[in-house]
Amino acid sequence: MPFCLLIFKKYIIVPYKLTEETSQRCSIWGKMIRDIYVRFRKVMIVKRASAVVRLVSILRHLLFGGNRVFYADRFFTILAGILLAAMLTGCATPLSVTSLDQILERERNDSEARYGYRCTAGAHRGASEEYRENTLAALIAADKNSKYAFIEFDVQYSKDKRIVVYHDKRMLRLYGTLRTIGNTTFAELSEITAGEIAAYDEAIAVLKKKINIEIKSSGDSQEDERLVDEIIADIRARKRDKDILISSISGDVVKYVNRKYPDIPTGQVFWLTSSTYLHFESLTKKLYEDISDTQADYLLLHVANLSNIDDLLKFKPRGKTIVFWDFDDTIYIVHKDISDRVWGTSRIYALYQTLRYKVVSLIR
């Protein structure tokens, strides 16, 4: 069955049959499309050939926003690049990529969901299913594991103002003592945990992936701001500004970061809110109003909020990205539109990832 190239010239789509004679007159991009198709056809069954037409429609929407004026060279350059990348990788997506539908099926046993949105997985408190959470072992394991695109960990001060990687205020849950992190020196913490507790400077020095650093508020605004200042000064000294997201459950911390460091992306953390179980549009809108007030870029919600996924997606403002997390290693970024991307990722690369995901989804 002959294949037709779609040649765009202003408003016209011309079917172009591939023959020996005409292929000699193809442009360099036309030849690339032809060669890619030969490989593309081997992994597609005939009934899915319409996937190419659907891909063109997706590309048109993403690249031109409904504008009917197409620039063929630009279009074919990007199309060829995406298809070639898909072919060379065996039409596979990275291990860190999944879909919102798969997450809903796993978390809610909802096999009927059909949103089609891409999600990027990170490591919440490191590889916390394999190792004790937030320990250096958990963080290094996550950094080496390709199923995680980024790593999340928590920081707070010890008594002697050493920044330590630890989530809880007290050590009871993990180490069986009522001692608090803020009233215990780092040397004492190391002794209690048999050396497991990690200092921030030890962790940041060995991690290469993008990192979500959650600031655990002490309740003292001056101490919280000092902690933020010290963290950001360090990441700038390491020239890792583009790799870091600063998040907190404290709206005041998020506001402080956005006010003093507007170039640093921020996230606000929520566990359970009124909209988690009461699915009223007004409550979901109020949630977005809250992060608009703090100017957070990312809305980090516990997976219990997946029960309200319809309204969360419906009312999500452009430029605000939804992230779901759980108490294990689960944390996912939901890519509803092109503004939803891992911090520090360019729009061009985000577009590439979206198109690649669409290609793979269409041919599966």
pLDDT surpasses 50 at 338: yes
Per-residue model confidence as pLDDT tens digits over 27-70: 555 555 555 555 555 544 444 445 555 655 655 555 555 454 44
Q: Which fold has domain 97-156+199-344?
A: TIM Barrel (3.20.20)
pLDDT score for 328: 95
- What DSSP designation does 181 have? G
At residue 345, what are phi and psi to the nearest 5 degrees? Answer: -95, 130
3-state secondary structure of 335: strand
90 vs 305, residue with greater confidence: 305
pLDDT score for 12: 31
| Domain ranges (residues) in the chain | 4-92, 97-156+199-344
Per-residue model confidence as pLDDT tens digits over 284-328: 999 999 999 999 999 999 999 999 999 999 999 999 999 999 999
Tell me whether residue 66 is exposed, middle or buried, using C-beta atoms within 10 angstroms of its C-beta: 0 to 12, 13 to 18, 19 or more. Answer: exposed
What's the rounded Cα separation, in Å, for the pair 195 and 177? 16
Please name the amino acid found at residue 268. Answer: Q
pTM above 0.85, yes or no: no
What Å distances lie between residue 135 and 174, 179, 209, 218, 321, CA to CA? 11, 18, 16, 21, 28
Mean pLDDT of the chain: 84
What's the rounded Cα separation, in Å, for the pair 24 and 191? 74
Answer for the pair 139, 153: CB distance below 8 angstroms, yes or no: yes
What's the rounded Cα separation, in Å, for the pair 8 and 70? 6
